[in-house]
Amino acid sequence: QVQLVESGAEVKKPGASVKVSCKASGYSFTSYYMHWVRQAPGQGLEWMGWINPNSGGTSYAQKFQGRVTMTRDTSISTAYMELSSLRSDDTAVYYCARDRRLRAVAGIDYWGQGTLVTVSS
């Protein structure tokens, strides 16, 4: 069965960076795009970007351009999302989420459990 297991909660100071990992299992990691979506407390879903695990190609939401980097390690079927220059309004649950369609962007059918990132001085 498809599983996405994210790394644990993080507490960071403003200006720092955070790197969240997402280990995939139960499917061919390189065949499906991986999205990152965040949700601030009491707020809606915000798409951050995706990575094509096969090529390493990425697409980022304009809001996060220059601050987010998505990478992957195919040898261990793991995707990473690094967000830099953290601010208090980056406090959120960060989800990795697999696209439902082979080698395309079409919607999300599997989600990680979420990683809470708290930014506080």
Binding site residues, other proteins, CB under 8 A: 35, 37, 44-47, 50, 59, 61-62, 95, 97, 100, 105-109, 111-114
**Least distance (Å) between residue 121 CB and other proteins:** 27
- Residue closer to other proteins (CB basis): 11 or 106: 106
- Residue closer to other proteins (CB basis): 35 or 72: 35
- Residue closer to other proteins (CB basis): 60 or 80: 60
**Least distance (Å) between residue 75 CB and other proteins:** 26
- Residue closer to other proteins (CB basis): 31 or 39: 39
**Least distance (Å) between residue 109 CB and other proteins:** 5
CB crowding 9-44: b at 16 or more within 10 Å, else e: ebebeeeeebebbbbbeeeebeebbbbbbbeeeeee
- Interior CA angle at 105 toward 101 and 106, to 5°? 60
**Beta 10-12 vs 68-73: how paired, if at all?**
unpaired
Residue 120: other Cβ atoms inside 10 A: 10
